[in-house]
Structure 1
Amino acid sequence: MQFYNVKSVEETFSIINQNVTPHGATVTLPLHQARGFVLAEDIIAPEDVPGFDRATVDGYAVKAQDTYGSSESNPQFLEVVGEIEMGEEVTRVLEKGQAMAIPTGGMLPPGSDSVIMMEYCENLDGLLNTYRQVAPQENVIQKGEDVQKGAQLLAKGTRLRAQELGVLASLGITEVTVYRPVRVGYFSSGDEIVSYQTQELKVGQVRDINQLTISALIEEWGGEVMFGGIVPDDEEQLKQTAHRLYEQVDFLVMSGGSSIGAKDYMTAVIQSLGDPGVLVHGVSIKPGKPTIFSMAGKKPVLGLPGHPASAMLIFLLFGQTVMRRLQGEAERSLPRRIEARITQNIASSPGRADYIRVRLAKKEGEWWAEPILGKSGLISTLVASDGLVEIASGKEGVRQGERVPVIMLR
């Protein structure tokens, strides 16, 4: 199997989305520990939020019709019959021509339907002068306006952020059922690869950067890493390591050994894990063409290029998508993107997606992307980069000043 019938980036995403499904294992967590996890069930609101009509400003609770016609030159006059305290249930019914002082968040008294702001009225010894009319429900949040009892509050597949945790807390929900973290097995391969802790390299040896960068991304996205070590270019050893990790994880990732060469056993090793086997053998992308994606049963397997920069880019694109599918996220989530203007012309080959490292700077309210030029295998250019400009496969390049999508690396 060779890199002649490669897939486009879009085709690769489509294949991943068609084949990768949630791993299905769930855990129940206290709400304060659930940030970043994905809901494994729909959340139905057990009560209304708010549970009563409440004021959104400091002012006076009134009947809106009692303020009609109010102006600076022609105020209406209302009797102030009390003051509402925060957290207090109000039972007194507001009658026509009456008003009650109310703080932001206070409960509206029965009979009132709006709040006039402090700035537009004046209390003169119990006589409220209104200098502006208000409409019904003005400056009021009605009972159930934020969340209605019995409504679907959050859907299965929602990743929990601070705002989702906040709305759950507002309903008294203290624990949630979520998908457990994705377990990812990773190993590096290559006769030349040695531990990154090696202090003195022999000629031809290369420290294993990928172990750290890929593991860091997995953990950043909420996954758990099982490291299988560094395996030499020996087909039997590669198979043993791959099969051992495969049995213990949801997603198997390996780097190196995916380029064409005499010691390229990776495709055979991946294929041996199970059917349907290799679905993508090469992606029309630079850097990162020698990429393999496979399904062994229901478990995805990703073979990354050996070059650290290429491996990191491919894992940002495809590894993150696989993990989010496994975690049950409702929609495919691509890496965070912004739009920027490119500072210079960049040529690209049609039929291949290019990812150009850039440094971002803001000028006159707009982001500008300055290419950091260098060979695609250089890790130092990634360190200096804020993002990656994406040039789609159908384009022959971009012109200076053109708006381009940038995948954020920071």
Structure 2
Amino acid sequence: MKFFNVKTVPETHDIIREHFQATKKPITVALSNALGMVLAEEIISPETVPPFARSTVDGYTVKAKDTYGASESLPGFLDITGKIEMGKAADKLLQEGQAQYIPTGGMLPPGADSVVMVEHVEELGDLLNVYRQVAPGENVIQAGEDVQAGDVVLRAGRRLRPQDLGVLSAIGITEVSVFPRPVVGILSTGDEIVPPDKKELSPGEIRDINGITISAAARAYGATVIDAGIVKDEYDEFFTRAKELFEKVDLLLLSGGSSVGTRDFTVHVLEALGEPGILVHGVAVKPGKPTILAKAQGKPVLGLPGHPASAMIIFDLFAIPVLRQLEGLSTPAIDHRLSVRIARNIPSAVGRTDYVRVKLENRENELWAIPVFGKSGLITTMAESDGMVEIPASKEGILEGEFVRVKLFV
């Protein structure tokens, strides 16, 4: 066993990028079901949006030059020659000195180039008093201002957000080609682990935490999850259960059994699942050093530490990058970290990346990160935390009052 021949966090990320990519063929789904899925094709608009010039306000459509010089003390006067209706063509030509009422979203008639808001006019029968001048194009969305026919509106490899679906809807696309959501299988290991619903614990037993937390984390990411429950530290049963689950999923997560204990069979099981086998066994990170990354028959397998806090942090650090690769995401991960001050000195060992759990506190309208210390086996340290701070491997620690970046937990 080549344990403690550890990789750094960046080295592990490089290995993930090198070995894993989208392997499933794209599928076509209805736009209403595409939220959060990764686009598998470039989208080119077949049409112009909007197809006509529209008003952005309730008001009167005019020729801008007819309003020049208009003010509260010296209004302009225009003839009202019509009313534009929503959802209908505006085909009555607007002449000089004329105005037509137009609702928000209404189509500008030929000859019009701007709209005066209703707040700045007064209607007196067929006469319109204008109390404010407007510029050409004011309060108007021009035809094609949003999208031009032939524009690339969305590129492949993009995770679809609500606003992206709105763009597709605007250009009349109701189905899209996307990569399927990855299927994640989770198997908890350990003779001491029992299901959470066991009411009375025997001496030495612990309820399974990772099965719940990691399943929830995978679902929060957007994956489909198969929770295969718990398996004892017995090789034949462990391998059989892992093999069965492996065949059904895109990413296999094994919780526990990644340390050097004599009854830990994770490494042997991973080697037996297929070539090339173990890629990483041990990462220079705290918590979570006994992390295993393997590749079997083209699929990724990640051995998570058994301690709950470690397992959640390692899932965030490595399982999510694996999932991004499997989904075909081409856009870089967005850094959502907050810049805040740290509330106390925290030492760290050079050569190891430390992840410190913190909770946020507002002090005189400034956010501070308060370290939440505790062993990685304590799940309450995660529940009490809002996020985590990374101390790079090159640093010996961070000083009280120093600005740090907090990666928020979901």
TM-score by length of 2: 0.93
1:142-174 Cα offsets, whole Å, 9 max, x none, are: 111112222222222222222222222233332
Amino acid across the alignment from 2:116: I
The one-letter amino acid paired with 2:381 is T
| In 2, Cα distance between equivalents of 1:233 and 1:391 | 35
230-239 vs 141-150, greater mean Cα deviation: 230-239
Change (3 A) 1:29 1:364: farther
Task: Give the structure 2 partner of residue 208 of structure 1.
Answer: 208
Letter in 1 for 2:133: Q
Runs of 4+ in structure 1 over 4 Å off: none
Note if contact 1:45-1:152 (Cα within 8 Å) is conserved in structure 2.
Answer: yes
Q: Measure how far apart 1:92 and its partner are.
A: 0.8
Code of the aligned partner of 1:263:
R
1:137-152 residue pairs with structure 2 within 5 A?
A: 137-152=137-152
1:264 alignment counterpart: 264
Q: Distance in 2 between matches of 1:199 and 1:129?
A: 79
Q: Distance in 2 between matches of 1:330 and 1:364?
A: 41
Q: Within 5 Å, which residues of 2 pair with 1:76-91? A: 76-91=76-91
Tell me, in whole angstroms, the C-alpha distance in 1 between the residues paired with 2:80 and 2:395. 70
Q: How far apart are residue 289 of structure 1 and its match?
A: 0.7
Name the residue aligned to 1:4. Answer: 4
| Distance in structure 2 (CA, Å) of the matches to 1:404 and 1:293 | 29
Deviates more, 1:99-108 or 1:391-400: 391-400
Summarize the alignment of residues 180-259 of structure 1 with structure 2, pairs less than 5 Å apart: 180-259=180-259
Matching residue of 2:165: 165
Higher mean C-alpha deviation, range 314-323 or range 222-231: 222-231
The one-letter code of the counterpart of 2:286 is K
Aligned to 2:174: 174
The aligned amino acid for 1:50 is P
CA contact (8 A) 1:17 1:332 kept: no
Percent of aligned pairs with the same amino acid: 54
Give secondary structure in 2 for the equivalent of 1:144.
coil
* Structure 1 residue 258: Cα displacement: 1.0
2:342 is matched with 342
In 2, Cα distance between equivalents of 1:336 and 1:224:
24
Aligned length: 410
Residue matched to 2:359: 359
* Whole-angstrom CA distance in 2 between matches of 1:199 and 1:316: 31
Partners of 1:379 and 1:127 in 2: CA distance: 73
Q: Report matched runs for 1:36-51 at 5 Å.
A: 36-51=36-51
For 1:91-141, what per-residue CA distance to the aligned partner results, in whole angstroms no more than 9, with x for missing partners? Answer: 011112222121211111111111122333333433333333322211111
Gaps spanning 5+ residues in structure 2: where?
A: none
Q: Secondary structure at the match of 2:273?
A: coil
1:21 equivalenced with 2:11 (yes/no): no
Tell me the CA shift for residue 253 of structure 1. Answer: 0.9
SS of aligned partner of 1:326? helix
1:331 corresponding residue in structure 2: 331
Instruction: Return the offset for 1:332.
Output: 4.4
- Worse-matched range after superposition: 104-113 or 7-16: 7-16
Describe the SS at the equivalent of 2:309: helix
Between stretches 68-77 and 180-189, larger displacement belongs to: 68-77
Whether the aligned pair in 1 keeps the contact of 2:64 and 2:136 (CA below 8 Å) is: yes
Partner residue in 1 for 2:66: 66
Deviations 1:363-387 (A, max 9, x none): 4443322112222221111111121
- Is 1:325–1:332's contact at 8 Å kept on the other side of the alignment? no
Q: Deviations over 1:18-65 (max 9, x none)?
A: 222113233332222222222222222232221210011222211222
1:221-255 C-alpha deviation (Å, 9 max, x unpaired) = 22222233322323333333332222221111101
The RMSD of aligned alpha carbons is 2.1
- The letter for the 1-side match of 2:6 is V
1:317 touches 1:334 (CA, 8 Å); kept in 2?
A: no
Structure 1: how far apart are the matches of 2:123 and 2:34? 48
Would you say the 8 A contact 1:321–1:332 is kept in 2? no
- For 1:340, the aligned partner's letter is V
Q: What aligned pairs does 1:275-354 form with structure 2 within 5 A after superposition?
A: 275-333=275-333, 336-354=336-354
* Corresponding residue SS for 1:272: helix
Mark the CA change 1:336 to 1:23 in structure 2 (over 3 Å): closer, same or farther: farther
| Structure 1 unaligned blocks of 5 or more | none
Work out the CA distance in 1 between the residues paired with 2:338 and 2:29: 33
Question: What secondary structure sits across from 1:41 in the alignment?
Answer: coil
Residues 360 and 370 of structure 2 are in contact (CA less than 8 Å); yes or no, is this contact kept in structure 1? yes
One-letter amino acid of the structure 1 residue matched with residue 306 of structure 2: G
Structure 1 stretch 144-153 or stretch 24-33: which is displaced more?
A: 24-33
